[in-house]
Amino acid sequence: MLKTTPFHERTGALCASQAWRRWAGYIVASSYELSHEREYHCIRAAAALFDVSPLYKYLVRGRDAARLLDRVVTRDVLRAQVGQVLYTPWCDAAGKVMDDGTVARLDETLFRMTCAEPGLRWLEANRLGLEAEIEDVSESIAALSLQGPLSLSILKSLGEIPPLKYFRIARTSLRGIPVEISRTGYTGDLGFEIWLPSRDAIPLWDFIMEAGKNYGLQAAGMLALDVARIEAGLMLIDVDYVPAKKALIESQTSSPYELDLAWAVNLEKAQFVGKQALAAEHARGPQWQFVGIEIGWAGLERLYAEVGLATRLPQTAWRMSVPIYAGGEQAGYATSGGWSPLLKKYIALAHLRSQWAQPGTELDIEITVEHRRKRAAARVVKKPFFDPERKKG
């Protein structure tokens, strides 16, 4: 049976499109309006509100909480300050990514971890005599993501918002509802995630929507989010990579290095799961890289003109494996892509063998034009595609 989130009473009433999607056993809106287009533009020009409650959430507390998490994830949790949030992958012993998420240090001895996949068993398996308790708060904690250039103005009209740097979290209250607010999100824009007890979900939703009226706030669904996260160059589990536990063959797995997450692997740490394998891979260099691809307009236009059509662009972001070629050879494959309405570019995220992964490399991507497979020129570019100053500034 699919579950509904603590906000469903409101999101359900708003969902004019009746387009729903599954996420971790819950249903969430794909788009609220008939098209996701405006929801997308609100992320970039005003503000958008997402229900992200389906995330798996765990509280880890106790004297050794930091040590437990430090052992599991690839980043340095021991040195994380109170109020800091770490984005991090975590790996199996072979150094292959099992999941990615965030670890927020709420206190010296209290952390909240968010995951895309259930993580309780893995955390417990790694506890091994450490003094740390793990509590699954996936259902008791609801979460909203308020993203966009005007998101801060909306929050400020609801309560005292302490100055928050990028990837920092603080406790406060919004119209009397105790919440934690982190300056995080999945859009690559200025934005915040709000964590609160599920029982307060409905009143908080109402407060935010009411305050947002003056700032063009729009409830937004997963279709709009998908476009934004691709522009931000952010990968998605099960779409852009197969988590190690689900991989059926070894070639389906990816290391953090192969996912462009070298910056998130701290090999200086004393010990963590997968360290040995990762150190070895670091020394020899990854075979694959996860890069941004830009599909050239001129080539695309030519392919469509050949059959007498104006250029057609994908209306939503796509999620499938599309071959990429370097001359006669297959250089790799794209896993998600779409038209960026903001950048006016056709962009994609792709896995390429390292020799073809340098920015500027000219490649071809497969594209189907009027039922025929063609190749369009594409170029490797730096991620993120879109990186506004306001995101961190």
Partner 1 sequence: MTSHDIVIVGGGHNGLVCAAYLARAGKRVLVLERRERVGGAAMSEEVFPGFRFSVFSYVVSLLRPEIIRELELPRHGLHILPLESTLTPLPGGDYLAQWNDHDQNRRELARHSPRDAEAYDEFGVELHQMARLIKPILGIAPPDPASLRPRELLDLARLARMFRSIDKKKFNTLWRLLTLSSADYLDSWFESEALKATKAASGIIGTMLGPRSPGTAYVLLHHYMGELDGVFRAWGFAKGGNGSVSAAIASAARALGAEIRTSAPVERIWVESGRAKGVVLEGGEEIRAESVVSGADPRRTFLGLVGEKNLPGDFAESIKRFKFRGSSAKVNLALGELPSFTCMPGRGPHLRGAVSISPSVAYLEQAYDDAKYGQISRRPYMDIVIPSMLDPAMAPPGKHVMSIFVQYAPYRVNGGWTDARREALGDAVIDTLAEYAPNIKSAVLHRQVVTPADIERVVGLTEGNIFQGELSLQQMFFLRPAPAWSRYRTPIEGLWQCGSGTHPGGGVMGASGRNAALALLGERL
Give least dist CB 16 to partner 1, A: 10
* Nearest-approach distance from CB 55 to partner 1, in angstroms: 29
Smallest separation, CB 301 to partner 1 (Å) = 9
Q: How far is the CB of 37 from partner 1 (least distance, A)?
A: 6
Alpha-carbon distance of 234 to 316, in angstroms, equals: 17
Q: Angle CA(346)–CA(252)–CA(345) in degrees, nearest 5?
A: 5
- Decide whether 68 or 347 has the Cβ nearer to partner 1: 347
Cis, bond preceding 388 (omega within 30 deg of 0): no
- Cβ proximity to partner 1, 213 vs 284, nearer residue: 213
Q: Is 271 exposed, middle or buried (0-12, 13-18, 19+ CB in 10 A)?
A: exposed
**Closest distance to partner 1 from the beta carbon of 138 (Å):** 34
Angstrom distance (rounded) from CA 189 to CA 88: 19
Question: How many whole angstroms separate alpha carbon 250 and alpha carbon 244?
Answer: 8
Least distance to partner 1, CB of residue 252, Å: 34
d(CA 73, CA 269): 11
Q: Which is closer to partner 1, CB of 205 or CB of 386?
A: 386
Whole-number Å distance between alpha carbons of 337 and 216: 27
Please answer whether residues 205 and 212 qualify as being in contact, where contact means their C-beta atoms are separated by less than 8 angstroms.
no
CB of 260 to partner 1, least distance (A): 22
Q: How far is the CB of 208 from partner 1 (least distance, A)?
A: 14
Query: In this complex, which beta carbon is closest to partner 1, that of residue 89 or of residue 221?
Result: 221
| Count of C-beta atoms within a 10 Å radius of residue 303 | 21
Rounded Cα–Cα distance for residues 92 and 273 (Å) = 6
Binding site for partner 1 (CB under 8 A): 33-35, 37-38, 41, 44-46, 149-150, 153, 157, 213-216, 297, 310-313, 339, 341-345
Contacts of residue 55, defined as CB under 8 A and 6 or more positions apart, other chains included, come to 24, 101, 114, 115, 116, 138, 143
Q: Which C-beta is closer to partner 1: that of 174 or that of 211?
A: 211
| 39/32 Cα distance (integer angstroms) | 8
User: What residues contact 350, with CB distance under 8 A and at least 6 apart?
Assistant: 290, 291, 292, 293, 324, 332, 333, 334, 335, 337
